[in-house]
Structure 1
Amino acid sequence: AGQLPAGPAAPGCTARPGAEVVPGSSEPQTFPAEPSSFLALCDFPSGVEAAVLRMGERLHVLSEDGEWWLVRSEVSGKECHVPSSCVAKVRHRWLYEGVSRQKAEELLLQSGNHSGSFLIRESQTRRGCYSLSVRHSARAAWDAVTHYRIHRLDNGWIYISPRLTFPSLHDLVDHYSEFGEGLCCVLKEPCSVDGAKVAPIPAMPAVVKKPSLNWDKIDSSILFSEAAAPLEEDSPISLGLREAISSYLLLTEPDAAEQSPTGKGAKSS
């Protein structure tokens, strides 16, 4: 880091996307041509329970042909064509290409991230410029995400606060990972997307269904046998049903005490 050099700052960003300028050189130092990874930015197809891709899954890009790319999920192994806007290129674990401000907040607020999680994304409105997005804990509230514009000078140095300038994004990240002055908190870990895993499908419980009863063919001895008698495993009559029938018959039987021994009612005197 260094103090702001003399001379006016250049708020416009004209360097190529993904490039950093080495001090004393007019040529930008580009990042590796190949991103270290690709990331799904949304469920696809959206609104479908059995989506082929889930947001946060790491992808292997098989073909970048126009607006539709052929990708394979490193989680499920499934292949499909998706809009290029659903895929982010990730370098150095923290530099994201193709991520909007809203999507950065959505990624950082996933359960796998905590206060201090961060990412740097290319500006969608200022070509060649970047923004730093940081998750932090707000007092008596849920975690929030704060965004900081990264400015570039004529000589290629960059800064968030004019008091501190850096020759590259790497130096900026290294400094704010140690000192958090001017930011909401110290930078801790790059945005984690490893929480997007395929949840195992729970096994359906075995359903044992006995055949429906044909009452015309049921042996009455099964119904009126003692409740304590053991039942065979393949018996169509459950113990509960047998007890229910016995209880019903007991309640509906006429009280023998109210009948005379001859079966006739008692005479009134």
Structure 2
Amino acid sequence: MTEMSCDRMFPARAGRATARAGVSVLVDQRRASRTLGEFMIRCQIAFRKAVDSGWYVLRSDGKRATFEIEGRHVPAELFANVETLNAAAWITIFHDEIGDDFHTDLKATLPDPTAMPRDYLDPRSCFKSRDGRSKLSFPCDWLLVELKQEWSVPPSHVDGDLRQRDTTTELDPIRQAIAERLQVGEVKLEEVASWLGQSPRGLQRKLREHGQTLRKIVQQERTNRAAALLRESDMPINEIALMCGYSSAQSLARSFRSAFGLSPSEFRDQPREGTK
């Protein structure tokens, strides 16, 4: 992931790709919502139930609202990237729902304002965070805006039926934790253990018992997520690469050739089930 670590805007681009295609938990909450505010609250509820290391917090004083993540515990070297990724995802959602003029009323406090591409949000609306966290501030009226944009990927396909699962379900929580964080980039054993509330040694032992390694599962999740997006969406291949945690489209291509013997574009052109 050397290329990613050298590109400070990678997390923001990955966040935009996530917002435009959607991971299953976001897609499900969005499709159950009528307004932007309802969607944000549903995300609060869903993430609080599913992720104990951090959750969305929405506050409002009747004039301005703020949206941020609290209680998250991630390694220091990943903290700014995760904050930037989430901020970029919601900035993209606001853009798609409110319109091109959204940036005049949206203010973003970020770990590194220069890591947010200028075409995502006007630099004049980006401010340096004192505590290293991201926070978005916007008019309360936005919470009442009816949703109008649709993600192109059905929730049942985002994680895909292409996943090569073990016969046991014991590894499912590990796979889910990894799948929800693919955009972060490199996934480390200590981080996954922390997300799951386990010790690194205990997690390593469980993987070994099932003949698996963390590297192998991460690679499977990345290729399966990419395969689902290639089959079920028209997203550009470079955006799919970013969304799945690859450092570049070339890195995705190498992984795909190893897994399927095809390039991503060749895989996408293959006839789908039920078609001629």
TM-score by length of 2: 0.24
More strand by share: 1
TM-score by length of 1: 0.24
More helix by share: 2
Task: Specify the structure having the higher radius of gyration (Cα).
Answer: 1
